[in-house]
Amino acid sequence: MRISIIGILLLIIHAMSATLFQNLRIGEISPNFMIMIIVSFALLRGSKEGSLIGLAAGFLNDIVFGMGIGSTVFVYTLIGYVCGKFNKNFYRENFIIPFVCTLFSSLFYSVACMFGFFLRGKVNFIFFFKTIIIPELIYTITLSLVIYQLTYLINEKIENTEKKTRNIF
């Protein structure tokens, strides 16, 4: 139940960000919806599930758009795992921790991408930060407030049904 819902959610988010959310680009910069989803679920469900969702999302991205499989998988899994560690220490109704976690996750993802450019000799550090990383960061953390509410609701529903099925058995 949980696996299928989250899997479908990931697929929908991926398909949407490749097609419809292209229209959301502001100054050619699009937000990263995958990171929002991964961080939200990792915070709500713990590091085990977070890293699994990160793994799935990373594979999805690398298979469809990547040149080789691995880089995004690693980054997303790490984000899921680390954010999951905060699961026990915060209230779910709190806004601040998802906000801060998304901020650092997005920054980490962007820096990892930038590292790929460094390896190919593109070392214009200031340019990357000014035109790509900072705008993407701002866009992502702004939308993460909304996305966290949605994931919170979805998670609530799933947990309710799980409770019911547990009551039945």
Residues found near other proteins in the complex (CB under 8 A): 14-15, 17-19, 21-22, 27-30, 32-34, 61, 64-65, 67, 113, 116-117, 120, 122, 124, 127-128, 131-132, 136
Q: Which is nearer to other proteins, 95 or 127 (CB)?
A: 127
What are the residue ranges of helices labelled H in the chain? 2-18, 33-45, 47-65, 71-84, 96-119, 125-128, 134-168
How far apart CA 149 and CA 134 sit, in angstroms, is: 24
Hey, is 95 helix, strand or coil? coil
Hey, is 22 helix, strand or coil? helix
Q: Which is nearer to other proteins, 3 or 69 (CB)?
A: 69
- Smallest distance from other proteins to CB 97, Å: 25
- Smallest distance from other proteins to CB 32, Å: 7
- Smallest distance from other proteins to CB 139, Å: 10
- Smallest distance from other proteins to CB 142, Å: 16
**Other Cβ atoms within 10 Å of 43 Cβ, number:** 27
Q: Which is nearer to other proteins, 8 or 63 (CB)?
A: 63
Q: Which is nearer to other proteins, 13 or 82 (CB)?
A: 13
How far apart CA 4 and CA 113 sit, in angstroms, is: 30
How far apart CA 160 and CA 18 sit, in angstroms, is: 32
Instruction: Give long-range contacts, CB 8 A cutoff, 24+ apart: 17-26.
Output: 18/64, 18/65, 26/135, 26/139
- Smallest distance from other proteins to CB 164, Å: 36
Q: Which is nearer to other proteins, 104 or 117 (CB)?
A: 117
